[in-house]
Structure formats: structure tokens, C-alpha cells
Structure 1
Amino acid sequence: MSISDEEIRKIIMPLMLSGAKMLDRHCPKCGSPLFEKDGRVFCPVCEHRKKQMASEMKGVEERLMEKLTELANSMPDDIEELEKHLRVMELIINLLERYKALEGGE
């Protein structure tokens, strides 16, 4: 995945102005120049994208938790409706577990 002009403006230029050293090597994943700052070599674009993805996943996780709480607080009395309710809750829990596994597997 290549870097966009916007990523160059928003991520790379400010980094260069902050005193980070642009290296003559490139990220094998996105093609961005690698940088060194405080003894650490890194790809600023991949780090930025990773933070964005984590933020988006956190938002999805929060919405799933809200829905799970809503369902838990409104259990129907009818047994068939209750079974449907519980199946949906189980699906939400499975999705949340997948998100947790993705977070841990980065």
C-alpha cells in the first residue's frame, strides 16, 4: 500500500520539521522513507495507520458493548423472543472476542 500526498503532508513533513532523521531506506510495507528519532528507527506512515485502525476498532468495540448492554437490560419474557435475544447477544460477544484477538495479535 503506497503513501498518499495527504499522508506526506500530515505525517512525514511535520516529522522532518521536528528533527527526525529521514533514512535512505524505505518501509517494505508501504514504501515510506524510514525515520530515526531518539535512537529508534520506524515507519511513520505504518505507525499512523496502525493508530488509526486501533481507534476505529475501539469505536466499533464501544458500539458493540453499548448494544450488548442494551440487550442485557431488555430481556423479553416470551421464551422464543428470549432465545433470539440471547443468540444476538452471543454473536456480539463473539465479535468482541475477535476484536480483542486482533488487538492482541498486532
Structure 2
Amino acid sequence: MALKGPTEEEIRTVLMPLMLSGAKMLDKHCPRCGSPLFEKDGRVFCPICEHRARQRKAKMKGIAERLMEKLTELANSLPEDLTELEKHLSVMEKIIGLLERYKKLEGGE
């Protein structure tokens, strides 16, 4: 399924500055989102797909940072009660699993 083309905001914040920087808008369109392809410094690319990928990566990084903060918070406040400790450790285990899946998505080990 193709993503929709550039939004009004993406036209203002991504495409216009790119054209003003000397990039050449081509008469070809991205097969994924339908946005015009650009050429700059001998490289042909879709600025909208690249912009959206950077946004997704930043969002995922923010999520991973929040998970690490929560994991640290839990590790620093381990309860004495065994039942509560088991719950605490179970949550920590789930967070670690989520962080490992995130690393795989990012191309890590």
C-alpha cells in the first residue's frame, strides 16, 4: 500500500527548503509515497520518505529512552516483599525484552 504524498507541512518544511538549496526536482515520483523525487550532488532520493524515516527513528529512540528510564527507576527501588519483588522483576524482564526488540529493529545485535 502506497503512503500518501507530502502534507502541506512537509511541502513547507522539507520540499521548499530543498528546492531553495539547489536540489533539482525530477519528473519522476516515489513509488512508495508518490512524492516527487529529487537529485542533489548526483544522488536521486525521495525527501519525504527520508524525512518520515527520520521522524520514526526519533520517535522510537524516545520510546527506548523512556523504557531505559523506567528500568533504572525499577532497579533502584526493589521492594523487600517477595511477592512485590517478583512483580517488579517481571516488569523489568518485559522492559528488557522490549528494548532487545527495539535494538533488532534498529539493526543492532
TM range (shorter): over 0.9
5 Å matches for 1:1-106?
1-2=3-4, 3-104=6-107
Counterparts of 1:102 and 1:17, CA distance in 2: 34
The total of aligned residue pairs comes to: 105
Counterparts of 2:102 and 2:31, CA distance in 1: 26
Counterparts of 1:31 and 1:78, CA distance in 2: 58
- Structural RMSD (CA): 1.1
**Percent of aligned positions that are identical:** 74
Q: CA deviation at 1:14?
A: 0.8
Counterparts of 1:25 and 1:101, CA distance in 2: 33
Q: Structure 2: which amino acid aligns with 1:52?
A: Q
Q: Structure 1: which amino acid aligns with 2:63?
A: V
Q: Structure 2: which amino acid aligns with 1:68?
A: L
Counterparts of 1:101 and 1:25, CA distance in 2: 33
Q: CA deviation at 1:79?
A: 1.1
Q: CA deviation at 1:63?
A: 0.5
Q: What are the ranges of 5 or more consecutive residues in structure 1 without an aligned counterpart?
A: none
Q: What are the ranges of 5 or more consecutive residues in structure 2 without an aligned counterpart?
A: none
Helix, strand or coil: the match of 1:104?
A: coil
Counterparts of 1:11 and 1:38, CA distance in 2: 17
Counterparts of 2:107 and 2:16, CA distance in 1: 31
Which deviations, in whole Å up to 9, do the C-alpha atoms of 1:68-90 show, x marking residues without a partner? 00001111111111110000001
